[in-house]
Amino acid sequence: MLLNEAMFYLLAAMALAFSLLMVTRPKAIQAPIFFCGALLAIAGIFLQLGAEFLFAMQVLVFAGGIAIVYFAALLYTRAGEPKTKSARGRRSVAGALLAVVVGAELCVAIYAGRASLRAGYAVVPDRNMETAAVVLFQHYLLPLEMISILLVVMMIGAVIVSRGGAE
Amino acid sequence: MISPAYYLVLAALLFAVGLAGVLLRRNVLVVLMSIELMLSAVDINLVAFGRMWNSVDGQVFALFALVVAAAQAAVGIGIVVLFFRQRPTADADEMDLLKW
């Protein structure tokens, strides 16, 4: 149990540290690396919550695929934060303030609703992934099909969009 | 099991960091990455609530959210690449073609 908590704190610290680095480091080309680290830490959180399939998907699709695609796109668009100076000082302060306020507000909401939170099973039930598959293919079959159609549309759309219109 | 509140707080903090990235960064691709981070933070919430009720529905919903996030990344990067061909910049402030 103690090990479980230690893992949670380690993964949470990793996720927060990597995402903070991603947002605050000025060089845009470094961002996908930190992004990848944050996503891997979140994948670890999924594993700890007993969502093995989501863990695998997060590692394969996000940390393995999407982060690399972002890296390639950054290289293609001449990575680096834009050089032009504009009056963004005040806007940056306002943006950071807004983000802090939203985070604090969410934490206050969680604190206010803490009475209705309860812990689930201490251990992940056996055949967890099997149950997830049964639920996915029996109760959520229609949404699953819709999601696959969305993926096909996305693939065709991405190809058409990045080809640059009709020749 | 660790109380769900810890996971919720973690998700809230990650969401806030992602929001800061969206508001502060000027490179469109970094902004898109920050949006992905916010979506992943919401996935943590879904899985944590699913675990709280000992059901896998939360995981299924998080899977759907993951797919939508992947679609958003692919199309978003496509649009950025297309825009880069029109006007060689990745600066969000320069993307004002639709502004009157």
Burial state string for B67-81 with b = 16 or more CB within 10 A and e = fewer than 16 = bebbbbbbbbbbbbb
Q: A145: nearest CA in chain B?
A: B64
- For residue A80, name the pLDDT band (cuts at 50, 70, 90): low
Q: A93: nearest CA in chain B?
A: B24
Asked if the model's pLDDT at residue B20 lies above 80, the reply is: yes
Q: Are residues A25 and A9 in the same domain?
A: yes
Outline where B1-100 has alpha helix (H): 4-24, 28-52, 57-86
Q: Are residues A8 and A21 in the same domain?
A: yes
Mutation target among A21, A110, A116, A129 for the B interface, most CBs of B within 10 A? A110
Asked if the model's pLDDT at residue B37 lies above 90, the reply is: yes
Asked, for residue A12, whether it belongs to a domain, the answer is: yes
- What integer is the mean pLDDT of A96-111? 92
Asked if the model's pLDDT at residue B10 lies above 90, the reply is: yes
Q: Are residues A17 and A63 in the same domain?
A: yes
Range with the poorest average pLDDT among A13-17, A18-22, A74-78, B65-69: A74-78
Domain range summary for chain B, segments of one domain joined by +: 4-94
C-beta atoms of A49 and B51 within 8 A: yes
DSSP A65-123: IIHHHHHHHHHHTT-S------S-HHHHHHHHHHHHHHHHHHHHHHHHTGGG-----SS
Radius of gyration of chain A (CA): 20
Q: Are residues A61 and A112 in the same domain?
A: no
Is the CATH number of domain B4-94 1.10.1060.10? no
SS3 sequence, A10-78?
Answer: HHHHHHHHHHHHHHHCCCHHHHHHHHHHHHHHHHHHHHHCCCHHHHHHHHHHHHHHHHHHHHHHHHHCC
Mutation target among A23, A52, A118 for the B interface, most CBs of B within 10 A? A23
Q: A153: nearest CA in chain B?
A: B71
Q: What rounded mean pLDDT belongs to chain B? A: 88
Q: Are residues A49 and A112 in the same domain?
A: no
- For residue A85, name the pLDDT band (cuts at 50, 70, 90): low
- What integer is the mean pLDDT of B53-60? 87
In this prediction, residue A166 carries a pLDDT of 52
Asked if the model's pLDDT at residue A31 lies above 80, the reply is: yes
pLDDT tens across A46-71, in order? 998 888 899 999 999 888 889 899 99
Q: Are residues A43 and A17 in the same domain?
A: yes
Find the CB nearest A16 among B13, B30, B73: B13
Asked, for residue A8, whether it belongs to a domain, the answer is: yes
Provide the residue range defining the domain that includes A37.
1-84
The pTM (predicted TM-score) of the whole model is 0.89
Asked if the model's pLDDT at residue B29 lies above 60, the reply is: yes
Contact predicate B38/B68, CB 8 Å: no
